[in-house]
Copies of this chain bind each other. A is one copy, B any other.
Amino acid sequence: MSADRPDAVVPGPVLVVGCGLIGTSVALALRDLGVTVHLRDASASHVEIAASVGAGSPDPVVSPALVVVAVPPAAVVDAVRAALAEFPEAVVTDVASVKGPICAAVTDPRFVGGHPMAGKERSGPMAASGLLFEGRAWAVVPTADTDPEAQALVERVATSVGAVVRRMDAESHDRAVALVSHVPHLVSALTAGLLTEAPSDDLALAGQGLRDVIRIAGSDRGLWVDIIGSNADQVGGILDDLATRLDDLRSAVRNADGSVGEHLDRGRAGVARVPGKHGDQPAEIATVFVSIDDTPGELSRLFAAVGNAGVNIEDMRIDHELGRPVGVVEVVVQAGVAEHLLTALTERGWAAFR
């Protein structure tokens, strides 16, 4: 994604402070647009690596139009204040996962709190990519003090690197990320933590359901300790709510009184509220199962068949437990085309079923 006029995106050089995954990725994305990017990091080797992958220049910059502070959460406030002081003309933004403490500490009109909802298990400048923000939400968090032109600049930058801007106040943001990101992460870790002492024979019965629940528990521990720590109030409040519901569920299980069903009903209602592929409507999807030989090329042939049927794939799972050479692929499609796809695949000789 390139821009004919990089100055239409940002009217001057950008300084990225903090060359980790997010900072370096922002830098790469801006460089792809032709923007001049300078890099800074407490670690000279991080700067060197980021520069070596094309993220920008390690040379000092005199007058950046924008400073993107992408340092670890605990260092953000100091780094933002230092940037505001060092560059009196620049807009300053950050990318930290929690906005309340930062927006409360920094009331300068030139500061615009932000948070790109992007990331991956690997961290550091070597893991960076200019594509990291494609289609992701980027929260922008103006306060009563924020200069609207500064806000407009940050929103333009976020949009230019492929993200979708979500404007919200700091408290709403922190509550939202606690609910959709921080607490699920902790729930996943708690559930996975139950397995550490289990006999291997027990774990041999594990299926895709368990794998889905515990998947995000494998993520970057150090970063998550900081994130949870900076959003402790919101996270703590939701965990308290969760504990109450868990106690209720435990009673329901012990008493065998049928109210377990109410917890399951609430779960289904919650799932239905999460937006699907087409933005704001919860997904109306269906699954077509296909049994395939688990070898290179087989999946490609299957997707060629799906593509030839004119069907778009919403999501996919590969169930391949127990080291078998045959696996079942779950192809998730729009509900309205599932029957058509089943017919099309079966006619081509695929072992498909619903």
Contacts and interface: CB of A to CB of B under 8 A. Distances in A.
Given A195-B270, A273-B203, A307 B296 contact: yes
A253 B232 contact: yes
B300 A307 contact: yes
Nearest to A166: B204
A347 interface: no
Counted per complex, copies of this chain come to: 2
A277 interface: yes
A187 interface: yes
Query: Which interface class (under 10, 10 to 19, 20 to 34, 35 or more) fits A?
Result: 35 or more
A249 B203 CA distance: 24
A311 interface: yes
Contacts of A176: 198-199, 201-203, 205
A122 interface: yes
A58 B85 CA distance: 84
Contacts of A246: 190, 239, 242-243, 246
Interface of A: 117, 120-122, 127, 129, 131-132, 134-137, 139, 162, 164, 166, 168, 172, 175-177, 179-181, 183-196, 198-207, 209-218, 221-222, 224-225, 228-229, 232, 235-236, 238-243, 245-247, 249-250, 253-254, 256, 258, 260-261, 263-275, 277-280, 287, 289, 291, 294-300, 302-308, 310-324, 326-328, 351, 353-354
